[in-house]
Chains A and B, each alone.
Chain A
Amino acid sequence: MEDVLLVVTLGVAAACLALTALIAIVRFVTARLDARRTRLVAPVRAQLLELVAGDEDEAATALSYLSALPTPVWELSERTVVEFMARLKGAPHAQLVELLRRRGVLAHHIAALTDRRTLRRLRALWVLGIARHRPAALGVSRLLEDPSPEVRLMAVRVLGRIGGPAQLKALLERLAGPDALPWRVTVDAACHVRRGSAPIVIAALQHETGAVRAAAAHLVAAHAIAKGAPRLAELLDDDPDQLVRGQAAVALGQIGSETVALPGLIRASASGDLDVRLAALSGLAALGGARATATLLERCADPNLRICREAARQLVRIGDPARAALESARRDEASPASVHLAWARSELRHGPRRPGVADTAPLGGPTPSAAR
């Protein structure tokens, strides 16, 4: 028994020593590799600055230099170039895209979109997204069906940068079905696809899936599609999906006229689902005007404390135009309404914090009470 113990103990001791040595070796090798990379990339950085900030001649020289970099140096530098490009817009960004084109990086990454290795596909998406390379849009939209959730998410984000009407439609469609894309990320991306979006968004307001209608409602406001307002008013009144009604309320406040938006928002803020009521308060604040302010003042006396508090916050959001109404509101009673109004008054007096739009977008997923 002692012999067995001795052997095992010696084995453990040897493993400890090996691990200690490994840690030291890893640290040493990593430090050396980092130093080598820094040394090789340093001149590339200087040329990159010339390329994006120099005059025409300097830029041309830098472009030639960078285009002719030996492959091993370029491989070490490519990530630096792409990360640098991510912080740029306009002409400097275009210069770097041209550099990538000359080096064949863009064509290489378009081909890599169909690579069987997940990491390759991800990296390709990353580069093409930062380069805002529109010709890749079709290939990228195919990756919305990728088996890897990471690739699908990255494809959504990239389509937000490079997509057109067809990709917007694809994004909205992928909000439906059993393997739907995450709502926030997808809508966030869709917000950036403005080119030719109006007919697609208007059509999506009629979609059979609530998540798609809700996304479309959000996009109506984000893309300022005024002709979508009447349909938003219908959705706010009649849609069976609470998420759609909430999004419609917020959007209606942002783009609707008083005639189209106000009656529905007042009704929605008075009763019904809490989230829709909160969204309607946000819509009223965005709409502004005397009647919206008066309604918010009224809601400060709502029996539901969350409604009272949100109404007060939205009054603060309206800012100066609500100040007079707030000051003239009754303040002699110790009711929740007067407490909230006092809070709103003091907020406005001390400079509003701009509480912002109510967070009505869904996280989705499990809520304990939902199943009860």
Chain B
Amino acid sequence: MSEWLDRFTQAAAWALSGLAAPVLIYFVAINTSYLVLVLLAARSFAHQARLRPTRRDDDTVASDLTPSISILVAAHNEAAGIVSSVRAMLALRYSDHEVIVVNDGSSDDTLALLRDAFDLVEVATVVPTDIVLTRPVRATFLPRHGDDKLTVVDIQNGGRANALNTALSHARGTLIAMVDADSILDPDALLAVSKPFIDNPDQLVATGGVIRAANGSRVVAGRVVDVRAPRGTLPRIQIVEYLRAFLLGRAGWSRLGALILISGAFGLFRRDVVADVGGLDPGTIGEDFELVMRIHRRLREDGQDYRVEFVGEPISWTEVPSTLAVLRRQRRRWHRGLWEVLWKYRRMTLNPRYGRVGMLALPYYWLFELVAPVIELLGVLIVPLGIALGVVSIPYAALFLALSYGYAVLVSLAAFAVDEVYFRRYKRWSDLPRLLSAAVWENCGYRQLTAVWRVEGWWSAVRGRRPEWGVMTRQGFSS
């Protein structure tokens, strides 16, 4: 027995000593890649900041030729904030936009609240069939006095993708903006996110806007009027995470010309391009990611010269999960979506035909997004196991962890520094230590937990379990 134990210990020690270095290298590589993206984003923001004083949107607001925008909103049980969200969307500064809300079979008062608030009346209409819908339209509503450019469509519950496809079928705009029902847009968000389409109409097919966490901020009449760091540690950590991944990360990819993910919470697309590729795919849980990949694939295969860009200025505010249970559901869903899309488009990976998307972005997503939680958990397991087996000394283990997580903190601080220089949304001095400390706390349990949940999401997808959106309980904004 003891001989067997010795052999096991020897084998484990051999395996651990072999694994420790690659895991450390992986940690360094992944954080270096983030740092490179942050630096690329910083260059991009520096360029925009230099041009900012000379940019005025008045021409766009006043012009008859400004491309029309349809804002598409899928609402499922959004009674808590749907009315203020829609009011804010209708009041956005833009010369020609409409809002199309699809009530996706809500079991709460979403539809009733909308009918009351906007004095909606049911009208007869026929839905064009250029996009395939999986659920029939039950009714279409318009405001009685026609003051607002609002259309509300009621359908049976069929998921977010089908709801957005229904909205897309009703859309008249040249451009479509997909926005989450609980998102709060800055007043000039449409102007900023549509500007690339006006300046570079020959190439632009989609733009994505920044998503920021609104927890803790003061919201009045559907507008974020006072940006503050939230009190809870969980949302605070996510603020840092969103800064690093959603603001700096995507700006970096955009700079590289290889942006493959536009968040469903705020993205602007050419309607004809989305309709031509068939709209959103109701069969996938990461429908926003999947749509962008489908557009890339189609346009690359057609040999078109096109661009998908990220715009750092427009802001969509969202409420990030403030409980572990909701965060777990979100992260499982995100990672499941990531896996589904990467697997679906695996033939594009490392395929020179798809340019930087195939040769750079997709391999990166496989290596540093999909596999990352597995390696991270491996690292977390190796260290105590190594110590227990006597293969790794405690000082070495401490240095291993300190370097891995110290580098991660450095990347987060770099992202925060870029945000501070170019945007500085959190103006209070008291917010500074809270957010800076969140960059440290992120590595003390949060990363490890989310890594576990992400692996869970991946595993459930690999096992072929049915995807579930799950209930996203929200606290609501303080007003």
Contacts and interface: CB of A to CB of B under 8 A. Distances in A.
Nearest to B58: A86
B416 A23 contact: yes
A38 interface: no
Most buried by B among A27, A350, A352, A368: A368
Given A188-B65, A309-B126, A347 B142 contact: yes
Contacts of B298: 368
A43 interface: no
Given A363-B67, A366-B205, A9 B302 contact: no
Interface in B89-106: 96
Given A86-B56, A367-B276, A372-B302, A350 B124 contact: no
Contacts of A369: 276
Contacts of A123: 53-54
B54 A122 contact: yes
A350 B144 contact: yes
Contacts of A187: 65
A174 B298 CA distance: 31
Most buried by A among B54, B298, B400: B54
Contacts of B67: 184, 359, 361, 363
Interface size class of A (residues with CB under 8 A): 35 or more
A5 B172 CA distance: 60
Contacts of A346: 121, 123-124, 142
Contact of A5 (B58, B59, B143, B403): B403
Given A5-B396, A15-B410, A26-B417, A356 B96 contact: yes
For chain B, the bracket of interface size reads: 35 or more
Contact of B413 (A16, A185, A308, A359): A16
B203 interface: yes
Given A184-B65, A305-B128, A26 B273 contact: no
B303 A371 contact: yes
A289 interface: no
A105 interface: no
Nearest to B277: A368
Interface stretch (A51-59, A89-97, A226-234, A337-345): A337-345
Interface of A: 1-2, 5-6, 8-9, 12-13, 15-16, 19-20, 22-24, 26-27, 30, 79, 86, 119, 122-123, 125-126, 149-150, 153-154, 157, 160, 182-185, 187-188, 191, 218, 305-306, 308-309, 336, 339-340, 342-343, 346-347, 350-357, 359, 361-372
Interchain residue pairs A-B with the least CB separation, the first 5? A366-B304, A371-B302, A353-B146, A126-B54, A19-B413
Interface of B: 50-51, 53-54, 56, 58-59, 63-68, 96, 121, 123-129, 142-149, 172-174, 197-205, 270, 272-273, 276-277, 295, 298-299, 302-306, 393, 395-396, 399-400, 402-403, 406-407, 409-410, 413-414, 416-417, 420-421, 424, 429, 432, 436
